[in-house]
Amino acid sequence: MAFKEMYEKKQLMINNYLSNIISVENTPEVVISAMKYSLFAGGKRIRPVLSLTVCEGLDGNPEKVLPLACCIELIHTYSLIHDDLPSMDNDDMRRGKPTNHKVFGEANAILAGDALLNYAFEFILNTISINNFEPKYTLAGQIIAKASGPTGMIGGQVIDIQNEGKNMSLEELIYMHSKKTGALIEAACMIGGIIADRVDKLDEIKEYSHNLGIAFQIVDDILDCTGDANKLGKKIGRDEALDKSTFMKILGVDKSRKFAVEYSNRALNLADKLDRTGFLGELTEFLLNRES
Ligand code: GRG
């Protein structure tokens, strides 16, 4: 099957699962609408696609990791809603649509983000319980919790905010993004290996996903300067407007691109060891060359 077809098949699997779990009963309409608005706004679903791919690539059953993979997408979506808030990046557009707080108001956007985060952990615990408390599901849940928490994504976001208006070194920037962007990408890949019962592969998965995460972020920084706002679905030049340290600010466009290729190639060298079908390698290249 061609890459595009395979990617869309995985996206469909994820979208169908998310649609089924998000019809939460006994929840005020406005919060459900706000949750669904951002969850189905056209995200690329790369984190859950990575979970399914690593799991299947290591001969696991992707259906078994799907619930946890979708929880990572719930957490990712909450982080975008909160990141766009006036008190954070104050963005008006995301995925080609007005941001959550622009449509539902700031209080509802905060609550929709909170609801997605809490629902993710409710669902993770349900998944652990449904699987008879099999240790690998608990381990996967712990990894997701750590990646999204103060030593992971939140920690990265704090470092980012603390450094607005300052000049970070390249090493500091990589460290910050290994948490802010990288932690969730790493967790997505790790749970694929864990649910496939391949803890022997975790070191390689970590190295693959660390390199992929940094390459992904460098491309994000480049697109924020040189991308097409219509394709990106959001305004460009936001990093500069917020006076953030970025790969573009430190390295300029040519060196940033070169740096992204280096990180992506390091990931690529490991991709075939994690997925013999070649899809993970193609996904790695797709993310390097993406326009949105
Ligand atoms: C908890 C407030 C809060 C923030 C956490 C991850 C994060 C920190 C904020 C998200 C903002 C951001 C732009 C982070 C960089 C990572 C990144 C490039 C996110 C966009 O991910 P994609 O491209 O988005 O996968 P789609 O729209 O495809 O899902």
Distance (angstroms) between ligand 1 centre and the Cα of 83 equals: 8
Tokens 């970590």 correspond to: 206
Among residues 177, 182, 284, which one has the least CA distance to residue 239?
Answer: 177
Distance (angstroms) between ligand 1 centre and the Cα of 47 equals: 11
Q: Measured from the CA of 94, which atom of ligand 1 is nearest?
A: 27
Give the chain's length: 292
**Is residue 46 lining ligand 1, measured as CB closer than 6 Å?**
yes
Distance of alpha carbon 51 from alpha carbon 55, whole angstroms: 6
Task: Flag whether the pTM goes above 0.85.
Answer: yes
Per-residue pLDDT of the chain (292 residues; tens, 9 = 90+): 799 999 999 999 999 999 999 977 889 999 999 999 999 999 999 999 999 999 999 999 999 999 999 999 999 999 999 999 999 999 999 999 999 999 999 999 999 999 999 999 999 999 999 999 999 999 999 999 999 999 999 999 999 999 999 999 999 999 999 999 999 999 999 999 999 999 999 999 999 999 999 999 999 999 999 999 999 988 899 889 989 999 999 999 999 999 999 999 999 999 999 998 999 999 999 999 999 9
**Is residue 95 lining ligand 1, measured as CB closer than 6 Å?**
yes
Q: Whose CA is closest to atom 8 on ligand 1?
A: 157
**Is residue 218 lining ligand 1, measured as CB closer than 6 Å?**
no
Q: Whose CA is closest to atom 7 on ligand 1?
A: 79
Residue 140 is encoded by which pair of tokens?
């996967």
Amino acid 25: pLDDT: 83
Q: Whose CA is closest to atom 3 on ligand 1?
A: 79
Amino acid 24: pLDDT: 73
**Is residue 220 lining ligand 1, measured as CB closer than 6 Å?**
yes
Residue 144 · residue 172 · CB < 8 Å: no
Q: Measured from the CA of 42, which atom of ligand 1 is nearest?
A: 27
Distance (angstroms) between ligand 1 centre and the Cα of 291 equals: 15
Question: Three-state DSSP class for 245?
Answer: coil
**Is residue 15 lining ligand 1, measured as CB closer than 6 Å?**
no
- What is the enclosing helix (H) or strand (E) of 97? strand 97-98
